[in-house]
Amino acid sequence: MCISPKNPVLFRSALPGSLILRKPRFPANSVRFHRVAAAARETAIDLSNPEWKLKFERDFEEKFNIPHITDAFPDAEAIPSTFCLKMRSPSYINNKDRVLLKVINYSSPDSAGAVCIDPGCTWIEQWVHRAGPREKIYFRPEDVKAAIVTCGGLCPGLNDVIRHIVITLEIYGVKNIVGIPFGYRGFSDKNLPEIPLSRKVVQNIHLSGGSLLGVSRGGPTVTEIVDSMEERGINMIFVLGGNGTHAGANAIHNECLKRRMKVAVVGVPKTIDNDILHMDKTFGFDTAVEEAQRAINSAYIEAHSAYHGIGIVKLMGRSSGFIAMQASLASGQVDICLIPEVPFNLHGPDGVLKHLNYLIETKGSAVVCVAEGAGQSFLENTNAKDASGNKVLGDIGVHIQQETKKYFKEIGVSADVKYIDPTYMIRAVRANASDGILCTVLGQNAVHGAFAGYSGITVGIINNHYAYLPIPEVIAYDKSVDPNSRMWHRCLTSTGQPDFI
Ligand SMILES: Nc1ncnc2c1ncn2[C@@H]1O[C@H](COP(=O)(O)OP(=O)(O)O)[C@@H](O)[C@H]1O
Ligand SMILES: O=P(O)(O)OC[C@H]1O[C@](O)(COP(=O)(O)O)[C@@H](O)[C@@H]1O
Ligand SMILES: [Mg+2]
């Protein structure tokens, strides 16, 4: 039966024979109204003002405006673009071109996944800046010293992005291109020399995973980084990293402005967790999902071939379960998908373990896919942080494995439990074809953005189009799986799992 948001929910638990009355854990209406209220609050919209829609759209345009060199240097000279292709002259993007951020016109807040500004769910246009080459540029290629730095954890596609930044810079005519070794650390560690980059150096780097430049967490302060940039004469910097790296990039941009340095700081979002706001996806995510399927398939084969086999796979996702959700959906072999956004119990009548027993009784085997950030409340909180200040997580995969073994022993049912942790294997692979294309376009657009004179921006794919966004807007908070979204519900449809609360 269908779940009505208006009533308590009657639905059949996956446990045999039990028809139970439950309140929906995510009462759709209240969540949606909460979202309406939150959106209105966030934008300080006075809905009683008849002009509120116009005002919202104007405020949005302002918020998503992308900082330009001329904001601080009104006299900065614009010259005709030096970006030229051998075969033909390129077509340019007009600075006024925009990409629509939200493309669904929800007719009511009850509509699945609806995010509304007002209770009537009025259609509001939210436009962001279109990425690509501009006719006028604000840097003379011969005056440019461009640097590339890759920070945070590894991610498939880093080399592809580096490669295309270098190739595109050369097409503009830049000769002085360097890589900063091992993330922000390379700015302060005197034992780590710059890596000279050219088309020749980067020609084949996309054929392997990892980063040609190396990565790191932690490192120097923003002041030290900008001191070092000043010393080295860097006036264009491409920063590849996640939310932490982008917070750093934005601080670098602000510090450069404070020092009146004419520098373009451009980010390219990198995280297999896919937790960056507003974009369809970040590069490396598709590859990670594809690779994760291999681990899930192995867990399935192991579980399916064993008597009462249970396969458990842990996938990355510090605070968001995108990889676990998408890999579960893609594989079609997962019975239970656990993500940080959706609380669950292991024990008790509605817990995961009881359901595992049901699966063993009915199917003979089961596969669990768990995101690393899920179920952290079951584990000891050590308060430990990594060098970047990220919380060090406990191993939920090991915990579920141990609890599963214990549980089946206690109830006297034999169970053959296998645990696979493929996390670092997934991160280290080279980008697949779709990520390869994404990386190519992002790398090229990062260079176009810098030459166009933008700074403090990042580049992303939005509704299949490429856009520039101001950094603060993409890192305001971590993007996470919406438990009310169609995608999570599709995942639940695929696994057939009940609520574990
Ligand atoms: N709020 C911040 N301000 C400035 N730099 C930051 C900030 N957060 C993280 N960083 C720096 O960014 C780099 C990468 O951050 P990290 O969180 O490890 O990875 P990611 O960028 O993938 O989220 C590290 O060198 C870290 O010191
Ligand atoms: O062992 P490391 O290098 O700290 O990486 C672990 C983390 O890297 C990630 O894959 C991605 O994190 P970043 O986006 O911060 O690089 C997380 O899912 C995971 O918690
Ligand atoms: Mg991060």
Per-residue model confidence (pLDDT) at position 324: 98
- Res. 347 pLDDT band, cuts 50 70 90: very high
The mean per-residue pLDDT over the stretch 469-479 comes to 97
Q: Residue 282: nearest ligand to its CA?
A: 2
Q: At 12, phi and psi to the nearest 5? A: -85, 125
- For the chain, percent of residues with pLDDT exceeding 70: 90
Could you tell me which residues come within 8 angstroms of residue 282 by beta carbon, excluding any fewer than 6 positions away? 155, 269, 270, 271, 272, 274, 276, 460
| CA dist., res. 466 & res. 279, Å (int) | 9
377: exposed, middle or buried (Cβ count in 10 Å: 0-12, 13-18, 19+) = exposed
Alpha carbon dihedral 444, 447, 451, 452, in 10-degree steps, equals 60
Per-residue model confidence (pLDDT) at position 39: 52
Per-residue model confidence (pLDDT) at position 448: 98
The mean per-residue pLDDT over the stretch 19-44 comes to 41
Integer angstrom CA distances of residue 313 from 372, 419, 498: 10, 6, 19
Does the interface predicted TM-score (ipTM) exceed 0.95? yes
Per-residue model confidence (pLDDT) at position 248: 98
Is 152 touching ligand 2 by the criterion CB < 6 Å? yes
Q: What is the pLDDT of residues 234-272, one digit of tens each?
A: 999 999 999 999 999 999 999 999 999 999 999 999 999
- Res. 112 pLDDT band, cuts 50 70 90: confident
| CA dist., res. 378 & res. 403, Å (int) | 11
Which residues have CB under 6 Å of ligand 1?
151-153, 183-184, 217-219, 222, 241-245, 247-248, 251, 271, 388, 390
Per-residue model confidence (pLDDT) at position 86: 65
Per-residue model confidence (pLDDT) at position 113: 85
Residues less than 5 Å from ion ligand 3, measured at CB: 242-244
Per-residue model confidence (pLDDT) at position 45: 82
Say which range, 3-17, 153-167, 316-330, has the weakest mean pLDDT.
3-17
For the annotated catalytic residues, the residue numbers are: 273
Q: What is the pLDDT of residues 279-301, one digit of tens each?
A: 999 999 999 999 999 999 999 99
Q: Largest Cα–Cα distance in the chain?
A: 79
Per-residue model confidence (pLDDT) at position 482: 94
Q: Which of 161, 217, 224, 282 to mutate to test the pocket of ligand 1 (most atoms within 8 A of CB)?
A: 217
Q: For residue 59, how far is its CA from the centre of ligand 2 (angstroms)?
A: 34
Per-residue model confidence (pLDDT) at position 90: 74
Q: Tell me if 449 sits within 8 A of 457, measured CB to CB.
A: yes
Task: Give the position, in ligand 1's atom list, of the atom nearest the Cα of 153.
Answer: 22
